[in-house]
Structure 1
Amino acid sequence: MSVWIGIDLGTQSVRVMAVTGDGKVLGTAARPLTSHRDGPRHEQDPEQWWRRLAAATREALRDVPPDEVRAVAVAATSGTVLLTGRDGRPLTPGLMYDDRRAAGEVERVNAAGAHVWERLGYRRMQPTWALPKLLWLLREAPEGARLAHQNDFVNGRLVGREVATDLSNALKTGVDLIEERWPADILDALGVPASVLPEVVRPGTSLGEVCAEAAETTGIPRGTPVIAGTTDGCAAQLGAGVLRPGSWNSVMGTTLVLKGFAPELIHDPLGVVYSHRAPDGSWLPGGASSTGAGALARELAGRDLDALSRQAAGRFGRGGGRPGATTYPLVSRGERFPFNAPGAESFTLGRVDDDVDRYAAILRGAAYIERLCFNYLDLLGASMDGEVVLTGGATRSTYWNRLRADVLGRPVILRENAEPALGMAALAAGPSVAEGMIRTREIVEPSGGTDLHEHYLRFVDELEDRGWLPSHAADHARERKS
C-alpha cells in the first residue's frame, strides 16, 4: 500500500491528508492559523505556518507506516508572499492574499507589464496581487533578500534549502506562463533584481527530498520527495477530479468560481477569464463571479436554509419545476464574471411572497449565472463536452443540485471529497494514480421536466438591457439550448 500526503496551507487553518491510491484517507488533521488585520493590512507569521503544519502532519501520519509514504505536495493561498534571507528565515511577515498595502504600486506594474498581462488574459494586476506586494516589500529590503510565496517557505523548510516556486503561485507575481519564465524586461523596468527571484517550475515537479531536521519535526519520513504544488483554488480543482480537457469544476460557495481544463490557452477580450498552467503544460481556465450563496446569508440571515430547501422542493418540484421569481444574487456591488460590470447591482424579476420564494429566487438566479458562465466559455471556444463537477457548500442542498442540473441541461457530478489537500495528494501521486483517488458520491441527472430555457433567456435579456452583459455574449446565450 502506497500513501501520498497532501497539505492545504490556507488562511484560517492548515489541513493535512494521507491518502492511498484508491482514495482511502488513512489520516487527516488540521491546525488553526491566526492573522493580524488592521485596515488594508493582513499578515501572518510564517513561523506559525511551519509550526502548525508540523503539528498537523505528525497527527495525520500517526497510524501510517513510514515506509508507505511516497511523496508530499503543498497548496497555499494565491498571492501570499514574504521576503526571506538566503538561509530561508523570514525577514518579513507573510503578506496575505487580500493585503492591500501595495495599492500604490499597481499603476506602475500595469504600465510596465501591459503587453504580457494582456497576452496571458488577465489584462491588469490587482492591488492584492503578489507583484505589487513584492515592490512594496523591496522598498526597505536588506541585501540578499529573496522572494518566497507561502508554500515556497514551507517547501524550503521541508527540503532544508531554497526551492523553486511553481507556475501556479507565481502567476500573480508576474511570471510569463507561456514562456514559463520570469519576464526579465518587465522586472528590470520595475527594479526587481533577478537575484530576488526563485527558479520557476511546473506544478508536479520534484523539488527535493524531506531533510533529516524536517523529518524529525513533521513526522514525514526522511527522503520523501517534495513535489511542487499549486494555489489552493487549483488544488481544489485537482481534488474534484477535473483532470481532462473539456471538464469543469463549478464551485458554489459564498461566490461562484468555475475552473476547467483546456489543451490551449483561451483568450478572452473582456479579461474576465484567465488561466493557470496545468502540470502537463495544458491550461486551467477559469473565472470568479460576484454572485453566490453569500446572498442567502444576507437576505435570509438566521433562517433554517435546510428547511427552506425542503419547502422549495415541495413548492417548485424536482429541479426547476415552475420557474417562479429570479434574483440576481450579487454578494457585493459589481460583477467580475461572466462579464465585467463594476456598477452591477442585485435585482429580482417576478413576485416574491415569502422566504421560500426568496430562497428559490436566489438559487434560480445563481444557477442562471452559472449557465451564462458556461455559455460565455463556449463563446470563447472552450471545450464543454466533459464532466461538470459541483463542489462547495451549495452541494449540501439536494434541491439546488437538481435545479443546477436542470438549468444546465446536463448531468452534474458530486464527489465524496474535493478538498485542496486531496488535490495535493493527487498531484504528489501523479496522473497515473490520481484518477483512482477521486471518488464519486452521486451523479444528478436533469429531470427532463419543465423547460427553464425561456425563463433563463428573460434573465439574460434583463442583464443586457441594463447594459452589463455585452450583446455578443447575450446573443450567444440565446443560441445555446444548454
Structure 2
Amino acid sequence: MVILRQFQISSFELFQSPKQTGFYSSSRSVPLPRARFYSDFRVMSGNKGTNFEKLYLGMDFGTSGARFTVIDEQGEIKAQGKREYPPFMDIPVTVRSLVSSISLDGTSATTLILNSESGEVLCQPYLYNQSCPDALPEVKSIAPANHTVCSGTSTLCKLVSWWNTEVPNRESAVLLHQADWLLWLLHGRLGVSDYNNALKVGYDPESESYPSWLLNQPYSQLLPKVQAPGTSIGNLKESIRMQFGFPDDCIVCTGTTDSIAAFLAARATEPGKAVTSLGSTLAIKLLSTKRVDDARYGVYSHRLDDKWLVGGASNTGGAILRQLFSDEHLERLSQEINPMVASPLDYYPLQSSGERFPIADPNLAPRLLPRPESDVEYLHGILESIARIEGKGYKLLKELGATEAEEVLTAGGGAKNDKWIKIRQRVLGLPVKKAVHTEASYGASLLALKGANQNSGRKSSHHAWISSSLPLPRPYISFSPLLVPKSFSSVDESEQDEDNVSLVASFNEINDDGQEDWSDLTMVSMRENGRSSALELSAKEKRKLASYAHSLGDKLKSQLVGKSGVTDSVVLSFVETLEKNELLKVKIHRTCPGELEDMILRLEEATGSVSVGQIARTVILYRPSPTKLKGDEGKKRNEE
C-alpha cells in the first residue's frame, strides 16, 4: 500500500531538504555594478546562444519507488536516480538551479478525494488495481456499452463508490489522480489533471470534454479541469523554490500515467510500434491510427497528438517475480535458461485474485502450480507465461481493429533481462528489443520540455542552451551518507586538459553483476569537446571583482565552512547567496577537514563559481546570476 504510506508522511518530500547547519551568514543582499564586467556575456533570446543551459525535470512515482531524470533541450540525460518509498529526490543542488520546468507521472486510476478548499484527504486513496464492484452496475447504467469506465477498477467506479457513502459535505470535494495530487504539492492549484489520467473517469480526449452523460450526474462537480499532458499549470510554489534552490521562473506542467510516460521515453513514433512496460505490472501500448476501446477486455485508447495509444495493463509482471525470487536469484537463474526452448509449464502469475487485461475478470485466480523441483525451470515457466499473456494482449488489439504491431520496444525493469527479451521475441513472433530510454521518468522529462517550449512560444528545438562564454555550474560532490560517490571514472590522462574537463552527475553506474545501479550518486569526469568547463575570467577581471568586494566591507555577504566541511547544506546556502549577490566571502575554519586548496577547489566545483581573491583562509567566490543576466539583457533590448 505504497500510496497509503505516502499519506502517513506529514510533509511529503519530493526533494531532499538539507538541514541548514555548518555555516554562518551575515549582511544583506548587495547589488553588483554589472556594466564593467558583463560586456562579453550574452543571454538566451529567441534562438541565440545562452550562457547557462536550461534543464527539464521528470519524475516517475511507481508502485515500489520513485525515479527522476533531468535532461537538456536535446534530450540528453544530465542526472537521474531512484529511491524506494518513502522517497526524497536527491537532485544535485546546482542542477536544481537550472531546472526550467517539472512534470511527473503516476499510476493510472489511483484515485484521491480531497476537500476542494483545504486539500485535506477525505478518505483512504483508491489504488490503481482496487476494484469497486458495488459501483459498477450504476456506472454501466449511465455510460455507453463497453466504455472504458465500465470496469470495477476505473476511476469513475471509485468516485461513484465514494459518493454513495453519503459522507458530509461531499459537494465540496474534488477528485485527483496520483500524478495530479503530487503536482498540486508543487504548484498549489487544486483540481487540475491531464487527459491521459482523466480517461478512466470518463473524459473524452477526442472531443476534449467530459461527455454529457457524465456531466448530468450529481458528482460531476468533483471532476478536475483537464489539460493536455505537458501543459504549463503555473510556477513552482515560492516556498519550494526557496527551500530547494529552484529558479524563480521554474514552471510545473501537467503529467501523465506511468505507462504513457514509458511509451514517450521509448520514442516510438510510427503506427505499428509498440512498447511493453515490464515493471511491477505488465502494460502494453501500441501506436495506432484507429481508436479502440472495449471495457470487456480492459482495452482503452489514449490520445497522442493525431494518433492513438491503444493498450491495457495486466496485473501480472515483476511484482510476482519479486514475491517468488530475490534479485540475486532472478539474475543467476535467468543465466541458466535456454530462451530458444519453449517451457511446457502454463501459469497465470498474479499476486492475488483479479485481472484487468487481456482478461477483465476481478475473480481470476493466480495459477502458479505445479512447481517443478528446479528453480530454473520454474522461473522459465513464469517468464514464458507472462510473455504469453503479453502475446494475447497484442493479438486482442489486432482483432479489435488496432494497427497491427510490427515491433515491440521494452521499458521498465524487465528490460534488463536479456533472456526474457529473447523468450518474448520467440513467443510474440515479433522483433523485441530494449528501448534506448527505459524509464518513465525520462518520458516525464520530455513533457516538462514540451511545456517549457509551449510556455515560451517556442517550437520544440534540438539546440542546446549552451554558450562557450560561461559554463554550466558543476554538480556538487556530496559527502552525505546518502550521496557519497561509489567510484570515480575519468578519461585517459593523456587526453586530459585542465580547461576541458568537468564533473557531471551520472547515476548509470554498472555494478559487479553488469546491471545498472542507481542507488547512489556517481561523479564522472568527462571531456567536453571545445568548451571550457571552468568560469573563464582574466587576472584583470578577477582583480576588479576582488577590489569591488573589498570596497563593500560589511555589506558583503559572509559565510563559514566549519568542521563538517563542504556539506549539502553548505552548498545549497552558498548557491542561494551567489544567485542573489554573485559575490560571496567564505571563511574556511581551521577545523575544516582537508587541505585548504582542496576545500577551495571543492567549493568552486560544487557551486559553479570561481575564486577571485584570497587572504589566508578567507576566499571571495564569484558566480554570475542567470536571473540577473536575463534582466540585464532585457533592459538592454528595451533601451535599443
Same-fold call, TM cutoff 0.5: yes
Contact 2:55 / 2:99 at 8 angstroms: preserved in 1? yes
Q: 151, 175, 178: which is aligned to 2:203?
A: 175
Residue in 2 that maps onto 1:79: 109
Contact 2:192 / 2:226 at 8 angstroms: preserved in 1? yes
Residue in 2 that maps onto 1:17: 69
Deviations 1:244-280, CA, capped at 9 Å, x for gaps: 42211112345432112223311448433112233x2
What's the Cα RMSD here?
3.6
Deviations 1:212-235, CA, capped at 9 Å, x for gaps: 334224433222232211122222
Residue in 2 that maps onto 1:112: 142
Contact 1:75 / 1:151 at 8 angstroms: preserved in 2? yes
TM-score norm. by structure 1 comes to 0.70
Residue in 2 that maps onto 1:356: 376
Matched residue SS, 1:325: coil
| Alpha-carbon spacing, 1:166–1:371, altered in 2? closer, same or farther (3 Å) | same
Q: 157, 178, 197: which is aligned to 2:223?
A: 197
Q: 151, 170, 173: which is aligned to 1:124?
A: 151
| C-alpha distance in structure 2 between counterparts of 1:264 and 1:312, whole Å | 39
Tell me by how many angstroms 1:84 deviates.
Answer: 4.1
Residue in 2 that maps onto 1:60: 91
Residue in 2 that maps onto 1:389: 409
Q: 318, 326, 334: which is aligned to 1:309?
A: 334
Q: 346, 366, 372: which is aligned to 2:367?
A: 346
Amino acid at match of 1:78: S
Amino acid at match of 1:261: L
Deviations 1:104-124, CA, capped at 9 Å, x for gaps: 4333233222x1x63x44533
Tell me by how many angstroms 1:5 deviates.
Answer: 0.8
| Alpha-carbon spacing, 1:207–1:329, altered in 2? closer, same or farther (3 Å) | same
Amino acid at match of 1:411: P
Residue in 1 that maps onto 2:125: 95
Deviations 1:174-204, CA, capped at 9 Å, x for gaps: 3233332223433433x2153x333212212
Contact 1:272 / 1:287 at 8 angstroms: preserved in 2? yes
Tell me by how many angstroms 1:402 deviates.
Answer: 1.6
Tell me by how many angstroms 1:162 deviates.
Answer: 3.7
Tell me by how many angstroms 1:425 deviates.
Answer: 0.2
Matched residue SS, 2:427: helix
Q: 365, 371, 376: which is aligned to 2:396?
A: 376
Amino acid at match of 1:210: L
Contact 1:204 / 1:228 at 8 angstroms: preserved in 2? yes
Amino acid at match of 1:288: A
Amino acid at match of 1:62: V
Contact 2:196 / 2:229 at 8 angstroms: preserved in 1? yes
Tell me by how many angstroms 1:243 deviates.
Answer: 4.0
| C-alpha distance in structure 2 between counterparts of 1:173 and 1:106, whole Å | 13
Tell me by how many angstroms 1:427 deviates.
Answer: 1.5
| C-alpha distance in structure 1 between counterparts of 2:112 and 2:165, whole Å | 8
Equivalent positions of 1:392-411 (< 5 A) are 392-411=412-431
Residue in 2 that maps onto 1:259: 285
Amino acid at match of 2:178: Q
Structure having the larger proportion of residues in helix: 1
Amino acid at match of 1:19: I
Is 2:348 the counterpart of 1:329? yes
Q: How many residues align?
A: 400
Residue in 2 that maps onto 1:2: 54
Matched residue SS, 2:207: coil
| C-alpha distance in structure 2 between counterparts of 1:125 and 1:324, whole Å | 34
In structure 1, runs of 5+ residues without a counterpart are 35-51, 314-318, 437-482
Greater CA drift, 122-131 or 417-426:
122-131
| Alpha-carbon spacing, 1:72–1:130, altered in 2? closer, same or farther (3 Å) | farther
Deviations 1:96-148, CA, capped at 9 Å, x for gaps: 425859654333233222x1x63x44533437754235525763236643333
Contact 1:73 / 1:427 at 8 angstroms: preserved in 2? yes
Amino acid at match of 2:347: Y
Residue in 2 that maps onto 1:145: 173
| Alpha-carbon spacing, 1:16–1:256, altered in 2? closer, same or farther (3 Å) | closer
Greater CA drift, 288-297 or 172-181:
288-297
Equivalent positions of 1:262-301 (< 5 A) are 262-268=288-294, 270-278=296-304, 280-293=305-318, 296=321
Matched residue SS, 1:192: helix
| C-alpha distance in structure 2 between counterparts of 1:193 and 1:359, whole Å | 47
Contact 1:81 / 1:133 at 8 angstroms: preserved in 2? no
| Alpha-carbon spacing, 1:185–1:307, altered in 2? closer, same or farther (3 Å) | closer
Amino acid at match of 2:72: T
Is 2:216 the counterpart of 1:188? yes
Tell me by how many angstroms 1:343 deviates.
Answer: 5.0
| C-alpha distance in structure 1 between counterparts of 2:360 and 2:96, whole Å | 51
Matched residue SS, 1:373: helix
Contact 1:7 / 1:421 at 8 angstroms: preserved in 2? yes
| Alpha-carbon spacing, 1:285–1:218, altered in 2? closer, same or farther (3 Å) | farther
| C-alpha distance in structure 1 between counterparts of 2:322 and 2:235, whole Å | 45
Tell me by how many angstroms 1:65 deviates.
Answer: 6.6
Matched residue SS, 1:235: helix
In structure 2, runs of 5+ residues without a counterpart are 1-52, 451-458, 465-640
Tell me by how many angstroms 1:424 deviates.
Answer: 0.6
Q: Which has the larger radius of gyration?
A: 2
Matched residue SS, 2:445: helix
Percent of matched pairs sharing the same residue: 29
| C-alpha distance in structure 1 between counterparts of 2:122 and 2:243, whole Å | 23
